[in-house]
Amino acid sequence: MITEFKFPDVGEGITEGYLVRWSVKAGDKIKEDQALAEIETAKAVIELPSPRDGFVIKLHYKENDEIKVGEVLVTIGDKDDLTGKGARKDSGTVVGVLEEVEEVEEKKAQRMVLATPAVRRIAKNMGIDISEVNGTGSHCKVTEDDLKRHANGKSVIKQDSDNFGDIIREPLKGVRKTIVKNISVYQQTAALVTHMDEADISELSIIKEKGIKLTYLPFIIKAVIIALKEHPFFNSTLDVKKSEIILKKYYNIGIGVDTKDGLIVPVIKEADKKNIIHLAEEIKKLAENARSRTLDLKDLNGGTFTITNIGVYGGIFATPIINYPEAAILATGRIQEKPVVVNSEIKIRKVLPLSLTFDHRIMDGGMAARFTNSIIRHLEDPGLLLLELR
């Protein structure tokens, strides 16, 4: 019996993906739930399992191809279907058995290449057929150095040119395509405004220097949650069709992680119920998984407010774009030592820049200032935040 396995709807509005690599080849005998392929969606790289035992009759896409939800990814059948003895599926989408068998043999002859999405992108930009490159990485994986060595031995094909010279056309896909889509939605529909201020975190820095091996981010998350509870409109979404502001009574904090594929925002669920130590552990795990693209889709869904750190790259202030469909986002900048007036005296203090972008359709400037002041107040007097460490 022939089964046409289609790219399933994995939820959260995902309508397409890109084939990173096949885990099987045409002619392979497979088991139910065995991994068939790795698919890069806008949010994660996921493995698609086989729906049944059987044999791979046909792979319908090549690596790096775009796949729409609902399109046939792989045809699975019984052993007789490989030889043309089995019953054919008359669906108008699978060609005759003889043609399928020919394609099976062709697929068998093709070399399966191991490489990361980034290396595949570089190969495409360099005009290199990655199947012709000898991989020297783990399990013969093709690396960027392998591409360079291969390019030195042959001419590199130019991708395209305009009126002034050679150019490279980079496909807009995956994370970057979603970023473009979401930003476009917000820029066209929302009234985005950014409020900027500074927090004196000298006391918090002293606590860190006394042996608490944590970054500032868990403390910032705790301060933000307190402010969200005091100012609930910043933990909301806007339903324009129903003319309603939906105030969230749960606090799922997204953390912006810079990856080679773009900004990915894993979400800490029920962050208000976790102490600072647990937050630190979860931040580390989610960031590592984001950079390796091994996040589960559930780790990327359900956010109510996002924090992103530009300070790690030297930035001070910014105008961050809200993570759709949330109502606000906070960017933290580079901590600086600055002269500050304290009790009529000028002292050198550690100052954290804060940039809050919010949807002016829901909040106004006064609300943004009060929300930010609440964050600042708790960062400047971190005693209450530290009670959870005892």
Q: For the chain, list the domains and their CATH numbers.
A: 3-109 (2.40.50.100), 117-167 (4.10.320), 175-389 (3.30.559.10)
Strands annotated E in 201-344: 236-239, 244-247, 253-255, 257-259, 262-264, 267-268, 305-309, 328-332, 336-342
Separation CA 317–CA 131 (nearest Å): 45
Separation CA 318–CA 307 (nearest Å): 12
For residue 272, the 8-state DSSP code is G
Among 68-77, 112-121, 189-198, 322-331, the least confident range:
112-121
Residue 137: predicted pLDDT? 74
Residue 161: predicted pLDDT? 74
For residue 1, the 8-state DSSP code is -
Q: Which residues are catalytic?
A: 360
% of the chain surpassing 70 pLDDT: 83
Q: Is the pLDDT of residue 96 over 80?
A: no
- Per-residue pLDDT averaged across 307-324, rounded? 93
Residue 168: predicted pLDDT? 73
Q: Is the pLDDT of residue 206 over 80?
A: yes
- Per-residue pLDDT averaged across 328-343, rounded? 95
Using a 10 angstrom Cβ sphere, with 0-12 exposed, 13-18 middle and 19 or more buried, the burial of residue 332 is: buried
Closest CA to 271 of 233, 305, 237: 305
Band (pLDDT 50/70/90 cuts) for residue 53 is very high
Residue 383: predicted pLDDT? 79
- Per-residue pLDDT averaged across 284-291, rounded? 93
Q: Is the pLDDT of residue 93 over 70?
A: no
Separation CA 30–CA 304 (nearest Å): 41
- Whole-structure pTM value: 0.66
Residue 24: predicted pLDDT? 93
Residue 367: predicted pLDDT? 97
Residue 158: predicted pLDDT? 44
Query: Residue 380 corresponds to which tokens in the numbers above?
Result: 């400047």
Mean pLDDT of the chain: 83
